[in-house]
Structure 1
Amino acid sequence: MPNYKSREEVPLEEKWDLHDIYDSLTTWESDLKSVAERTEQLKTYDGNITDAKSLYDYLVLSEETGYTYKKVYVYAMLQADLDTRDSKPQALLDRAKSLGVKLSSATSFFMPFLLSLDEKTLKSYIDQIEGLKYFEEDLMESYRYKTHVLTKEKEEVLSDLGEALSSPSNTFGMINNADIKFGKVTTKDGEKVELTRGMYSKLIEDDNRDVRREAYKAYYQPYVQLNNTIASTLSAAIKNNVTLAKMRKYPSALEKSLFSDMVPKDVYDNLIKVTKDHITPLHKYQNIRKETLGLDELRQYDLNVPLVKDVKEEITFDEAYQTMLDSLAPLGEEYVETLRSFKEKRYFDVRETPGKRSGAYNLGLYGVHPFVLLNHQDDLDSLFTLVHECGHAMHSWYSSNHQPQITAGYSIFVAEVASTVNEVLLIRYLLKTTKDEKMKKHLLNHFIDSFRGTMFTQVMFAEFEKTTHEKAENGGPLNAEVFNDVYEKIFREFNGNEMVFDDEVKYGWSRIPHFYRPFYVYKYATGYAAAIHIADQLLEGKSETLEKYMTFLKSGSSDYPLELLKAAGVDLTKPEPIRSALTIFSELVDEFASL
């Protein structure tokens, strides 16, 4: 696996081509200036939308400005993520963010204005100008928010506070990506090297328990040291959520988060309840893990080591890409060929380099194309990450190419479905095509671990979010001690008595960036359950399943997420999809136990 010391060493074909957004910084500057000018123009509509024509003109200008702003912001963000230590792209991003706050402030009058119109007047405007039909659904949807929109003055104040309110998240991001140093660990050759996140994901799977323990202790050390600082950023983020929910007259911060997707609170509560009711197979698996590894006691740093030895194989990026294309054949030729072209067109930034943002993501930019950030390590996990992110990228591509701009973006609630369908198709493909029995066992182990990470771990996180927000809503304190206690209690419940809990366990909450996007992680679990169902149907080769699924991928946000999923054959308002997924998990554990 290549170990690049700088971006210059990475081959061109494994780097993003950001020229697809802007050919030069001059063009970016020009668009930034144009957004700033249009932002001033948008302000002039405050108090001056008096008829159908002025409403239409405002909406067109607002959409055009928003589109250009997104390009400006995304370009700066993608540059900044390539090296979080480099102050130049960071400065571009800061300017884009600052302009975003001004744009938000300039348009903050609109929602209160719209809701001051009675529906009859609005409908008469829509009847007068053909172009307003394009905006009709969005305009009418706004009335759902009527009780949650504040006065014009208060909305302006909240917009002006945008940057301040996102400060806890930004601060944590800088601590986590730019400032944290994990110290040194010893390699197999006895050499002391600086630990990185990419390296940690490797070392925590090492056969040598001393190596795993050392990496684990080194990885958690900065989080333990910064425990109070990170607690203050998370506490501020949670209190911001709770305060905004109260100000906007939502029953709770959770219900505020669920409102836009029209997801009933029962869906969230059921997810936690049904998962905890079916926790026994997970505990059984932990026991199998302990026995297979021949341990007297199972600890957190034993949870990621593969249970089947000597099957580690190097999979280059090119090989991983081809395997992905082969495994996704059930999605049809058009899907596979479109995805093949993404690599040739350099939609990916593939390699880990110093200062690069950790992890992986897809960012779909309407009118341009998806951009996928990876930190590819030439192993099986990286293959799964690639397949996962390409699920998102293809969802972005289909929605952007089949929906107008207004409905092209899809809700986070359905986002994890496309990525996980791809993962399930990959694992089923590998299990079917692999002749090596040992590799089959390894893949089964991988499937179980992926299930554990995407379903059980995310539900555990979801319960942590719910509990901590409820504490804030009831006026309870939020500090490092509270977070540690809540996290440790839930972690113990999920992981059972087979595990011996190191002191580091309770600090696990402090390294999770998703907690700064409130009530986001539960969507991984609901998406996973839905995807398991869809993928198994696709593998049966039913043409109507493929047709329904492709329609789902092309639908963007043209309906509420639960409705889009119902049309694809999954009803998450009922506990069955969750129960069914957990039954499959139980079967996988039994199958693995029998081996």
Structure 2
Amino acid sequence: MTTYQSRKEVPVQEQWDLNDIYPSLQEWEKNFEAAKEKAEELKNYDGNINSAQSLLEFLTKQEELSLLFNKVYVYAMLSVDVDTRDSQAQSLLDRAKHAGVKISSATSFFMPFLLSLDEEQLKAYIAEEEGLRYFEEDLFDSFRYKSHILSKEQEQVVSRLGEALSSPSGTFNMINNADIQFGEVTKPDGEKVELTRGMYSKLIEEEDRNVRKEAYKAYYKPYLSLKNTIASTLSAAIKNNVAVAEIRNYPSALEKGLFGDNVPKEVYENLIRTTKENIASMHQYSALRKEKLGLDELRQYDLSTPLVSGVKLDISYEEAYQTMLEALAPLGSHYVDTLKEFKDARYIDVRETPGKRSGAYNLGLYGVHPFVLLNHQDDLDSLFTLAHEMGHAMHSYYSNKHQPKITAGYSIFVAEVASTVNEVLLINYLLNKEEDPQIRKHLLNHFIDQFKGTLFTQVMFAEFEMKTHELAEQGQPLNAEVFSQVYEKLFREYNGDTVVFDEEVKYGWSRIPHFYRPFYVYKYATGFASAIHLATKILDGDTETLKAYLEFLKSGSSDYPLELLKKTGVDLSTPEPIVNALNRFEELVEEFSQV
């Protein structure tokens, strides 16, 4: 694997080209000043929107500002992410963030104003001024919130409480990221190292079971010692969420959480129910894992280690990109040719270098193009990460090309569909091509574990959130003991009786940051199930599904997420897509058991 000591060593072709946003810092400065001026202009509309023409003027200028400021902000953010130590880039980002707060403040009057309008008045404005039709759907979507908006005075009170209501999340983040120390553990070579989350994710996959056990015990130790404090924090977050849902006249906290995407609670409940009705293959996998590892007892620290030893695939970036292009051939020549252009046109920042932001992401900048950040390590995980992020990038590319600014951005609810379809096509291609039985087993194991983590584990988390919020709504106590009882019961239901429980298992709830962003994780599972459903049909040669899927990629947020998916043949209000995905999991487990 190639390692680089500085960004200067990385081939130019493997660095993204920010000149596509601004060819010089002077251009950035010019747009930065223009954005501030436009924000001042918008402020003047507060109390002065009293006609169709003035409404259109405001909305048009607001969109112009959004386009301009997005470029300013993204340029600064991308500059920082390739080297977080770059003080000049950090200064640009700090200035952009500060300007963003001012812009938000300058336009904050608009939503209360809009919702104070009579619906008939808004219709009359739109009938009078043709240009308002462009904004019509967006304006009326805001009206969905009307019954959940309070009086001006009450809104001011809730707004002032905002920081206090979000403090449990902030407290947990400080505990989790700043205060918790995991101590030292022994690496396989006998070296003592300080345990970090990154190190834990490596050690929990080690072949040496004693190393896994030591890392597991050390990782959970601080959470167990702080279980009552963290329980108090999580309890406050849940109760705050329930209280705000009641204040804003939502039937439940769950329905408040689903409202933005216009998702009925039946979809959430269907996901959980259908997964649990088809859980047998997950239990079978636990039993298979115990058998393959040759263990008398399967414990939680045995659930992440690969079941196929001695397989390490070296895949260069060039080879990975070519493999991905070949794997995605079922999506058509335009899709593949466009992806090839992304690489040649330097839309991707490939290599890990000192100071670079960790992980991977895609950012689709409207009016420019997608930018993809990687930290490519020339291995199998990096190949899958590449396919995943380029799925997001193609979604951004198609939506930005075919949608106006107002509907180009897609919801997180549908975001994981495009990325996961690519991963399913990739694993299918690799399995069909690979003849080495050990590598085939390794690939199957890799995909099964990804399936488990993205669907089963996230559904389990989603059910934990639902049950704990229901307890709060019933006025029941929430504390470490209650959380542990709920979590342990769910862990047993999802993982089966094969797993022998250590004391730590039931405290899994104490380390999950997503629980402070309620009713979010289920989207990983619905997105994954939808992608499996679509990719399977595409691989079966279903041309109608392929055509509908490519249209979906061009749709942005032109409709609500569930409706966009229905047009591809995926109806998440029914069990079918979930069942189809779980059937595929069962097939993978069955195939793995035979090799």
TM-fit CA distance, 1:285: 0.8
- Judged with a 3 Å threshold, the aligned counterparts in structure 2 of structure 1 residues 91 and 430 are, in CA distance, closer, same or farther, namely same
2:422 aligns with: 422
Q: How many residues align?
A: 595
User: What are the residue-to-residue correspondences of 1:183-202 with 2, within 5 Å?
Assistant: 183-195=183-195, 197-202=197-202
TM-fit CA distance, 1:239: 4.1
TM-fit CA distance, 1:342: 2.3
TM-fit CA distance, 1:426: 0.7
1:71 aligns with: 71
Contact 2:185–2:192, Cα closer than 8 Å, also in 1: yes
Distance 2:92 2:219 in 1: 31
TM-fit CA distance, 1:388: 1.5
What amino acid sits opposite 2:326 in the alignment?
A: D
Consecutive unaligned residues of structure 1, counting only runs of 5 or more, are none
1:463 aligns with: 463
TM-fit CA distance, 1:479: 4.9
2:204 aligns with: 204
2:130 aligns with: 130
Report the identity percentage.
70
Distance 1:493 1:263 in 2: 26
Distance 2:135 2:250 in 1: 26
TM-fit CA distance, 1:87: 7.8
User: What are the residue-to-residue correspondences of 1:149-548 with 2, within 5 Å?
Assistant: 149-155=149-155, 169=169, 183-195=183-195, 197-221=197-221, 223-224=223-224, 231=231, 234-352=234-352, 357-548=357-548
Distance 1:344 1:574 in 2: 42
TM-fit CA distance, 1:286: 0.4
Normalising to structure 1: TM-score of the pair? 0.90
SS in 2 for 1:363: strand
SS in 2 for 1:583: helix
- Judged with a 3 Å threshold, the aligned counterparts in structure 2 of structure 1 residues 499 and 90 are, in CA distance, closer, same or farther, namely farther
Distance 1:226 1:19 in 2: 48
TM-fit CA distance, 1:289: 0.4
- Judged with a 3 Å threshold, the aligned counterparts in structure 2 of structure 1 residues 17 and 515 are, in CA distance, closer, same or farther, namely farther
TM-fit CA distance, 1:139: 1.4
Contact 1:101–1:159, Cα closer than 8 Å, also in 2: no
Q: Output one character per residue of 1:71-115: Cα deviation in whole Å (capped at 9) or x when no partner.
A: 344444445555668887666656544544443343333223223
TM-fit CA distance, 1:227: 5.0
TM-fit CA distance, 1:219: 4.1
Of the structure 1 ranges 292-301 and 118-127, higher mean CA displacement relative to structure 2 is found in 118-127
Of the structure 1 ranges 496-505 and 22-31, higher mean CA displacement relative to structure 2 is found in 22-31
- Judged with a 3 Å threshold, the aligned counterparts in structure 2 of structure 1 residues 67 and 469 are, in CA distance, closer, same or farther, namely farther
Q: Output one character per residue of 1:516-537: Cα deviation in whole Å (capped at 9) or x when no partner.
A: 4321211111111111111111
Contact 1:101–1:162, Cα closer than 8 Å, also in 2: no
Residue 583, structure 1, aligned to residue 583, structure 2: yes
Contact 2:38–2:65, Cα closer than 8 Å, also in 1: yes
SS in 2 for 1:374: strand
Contact 2:261–2:560, Cα closer than 8 Å, also in 1: yes
Of the structure 1 ranges 133-142 and 20-29, higher mean CA displacement relative to structure 2 is found in 20-29
Of the structure 1 ranges 353-362 and 320-329, higher mean CA displacement relative to structure 2 is found in 353-362
TM-fit CA distance, 1:70: 3.1
TM-fit CA distance, 1:567: 0.8
Distance 2:426 2:398 in 1: 20
- Judged with a 3 Å threshold, the aligned counterparts in structure 2 of structure 1 residues 561 and 177 are, in CA distance, closer, same or farther, namely same
TM-fit CA distance, 1:291: 0.9
RMSD: 3.1
TM-fit CA distance, 1:57: 0.8
TM-fit CA distance, 1:212: 2.4
Distance 1:551 1:151 in 2: 42
Of the structure 1 ranges 250-259 and 423-432, higher mean CA displacement relative to structure 2 is found in 250-259
Q: Output one character per residue of 1:464-492: Cα deviation in whole Å (capped at 9) or x when no partner.
A: 22223333434445555544443333222
Distance 2:87 2:98 in 1: 16
Contact 2:182–2:218, Cα closer than 8 Å, also in 1: yes
Of the structure 1 ranges 421-430 and 180-189, higher mean CA displacement relative to structure 2 is found in 180-189
What amino acid sits opposite 2:496 in the alignment?
A: G
- Judged with a 3 Å threshold, the aligned counterparts in structure 2 of structure 1 residues 5 and 548 are, in CA distance, closer, same or farther, namely same
SS in 1 for 2:577: helix
Distance 1:469 1:281 in 2: 29
What amino acid sits opposite 2:390 in the alignment?
A: C
- Judged with a 3 Å threshold, the aligned counterparts in structure 2 of structure 1 residues 87 and 279 are, in CA distance, closer, same or farther, namely farther
Contact 1:172–1:230, Cα closer than 8 Å, also in 2: yes
What amino acid sits opposite 1:438 in the alignment?
A: Q
Distance 1:241 1:72 in 2: 34
TM-fit CA distance, 1:118: 2.6
Of the structure 1 ranges 478-487 and 41-50, higher mean CA displacement relative to structure 2 is found in 478-487
1:104 aligns with: 104
Distance 1:363 1:229 in 2: 37
Consecutive unaligned residues of structure 2, counting only runs of 5 or more, are none
Distance 2:204 2:108 in 1: 48
- Judged with a 3 Å threshold, the aligned counterparts in structure 2 of structure 1 residues 139 and 133 are, in CA distance, closer, same or farther, namely same
SS in 2 for 1:373: strand
- Judged with a 3 Å threshold, the aligned counterparts in structure 2 of structure 1 residues 431 and 95 are, in CA distance, closer, same or farther, namely same
Of the structure 1 ranges 444-453 and 456-465, higher mean CA displacement relative to structure 2 is found in 444-453
TM-fit CA distance, 1:506: 3.5
Contact 1:112–1:150, Cα closer than 8 Å, also in 2: no
TM-fit CA distance, 1:306: 1.9
Contact 2:188–2:208, Cα closer than 8 Å, also in 1: no
Distance 2:583 2:519 in 1: 25
- Judged with a 3 Å threshold, the aligned counterparts in structure 2 of structure 1 residues 338 and 314 are, in CA distance, closer, same or farther, namely same
Distance 1:531 1:566 in 2: 13
- Judged with a 3 Å threshold, the aligned counterparts in structure 2 of structure 1 residues 33 and 226 are, in CA distance, closer, same or farther, namely farther
TM-fit CA distance, 1:269: 0.8
Distance 1:387 1:207 in 2: 28
Distance 2:88 2:477 in 1: 39
